[in-house]
């Protein structure tokens, strides 16, 4: 059964020119990193447009969100900033309602 989520992050990523496919690969590889995080209940790699990407992830509580912000995906984001993409914007958001996966 899926866990309810209350906290989330929305990360917006703008690819550097010519690095769009590398960002797609980065997001796909990020899934394997986040699968190791017990406190991350949902994770999505997103494409908003030709060079605009993002991550949406959700957590049961604030401690899960903070653990994720200090985890391997966050470190990978820092390492690739300036080479694959511009400085990401990270928004901490609250989940008001959800239809959990079944």
Number of domain units in the chain: 1
Q: Environment class of residue 48 by beta-carbon count within 10 Å: exposed (0-12), middle (13-18) or buried (19+)?
A: exposed
Q: What is the tens place of the pLDDT at every residue in 2-61?
A: 789 999 999 999 999 999 999 999 999 999 999 999 999 999 999 999 999 999 999 999
User: Does the predicted model carry a pTM greater than 0.85?
Assistant: yes
Q: Please give the residue range of the domain that contains residue 42.
A: 7-94
* Residue 102: per-residue pLDDT: 80
Does residue 99 fall inside a structural domain? no
* Residue 1: per-residue pLDDT: 58
Does residue 1 fall inside a structural domain? no
CATH number at residue 48: 3.30.70.100
Please work out, in degrees rounded to the nearest 5, the angle formed at the alpha carbon of residue 85 by the alpha carbons of 11 and 50.
80
Does residue 102 fall inside a structural domain? no
* Residue 2: per-residue pLDDT: 73
Does residue 101 fall inside a structural domain? no
Does residue 100 fall inside a structural domain? no
Q: Which residues contact 51 (CB under 8 A, 6 or more apart)?
A: 14, 15, 17, 20
Distances (CA, A) of 96 to 8, 9, 17, 44, 93: 10, 13, 36, 18, 9
């Amino acid at each position: 059964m899926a866990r309810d989520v209350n906290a989330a992050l929305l990360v917006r990523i703008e690819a550097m020119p010519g690095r769009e496919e590398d960002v797609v690969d980065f997001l796909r590889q990020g899934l394997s990193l986040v699968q190791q995080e017990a406190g991350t209940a949902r994770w999505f790699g997103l494409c908003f447009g030709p060079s605009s990407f993002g991550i949406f992830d959700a957590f049961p509580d604030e401690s899960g969100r903070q653990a994720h912000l200090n985890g391997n995906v966050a470190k990978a984001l820092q390492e690739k900033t300036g080479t694959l993409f511009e400085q990401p914007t990270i928004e901490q958001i609250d989940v008001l309602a959800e239809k959990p996966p079944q």
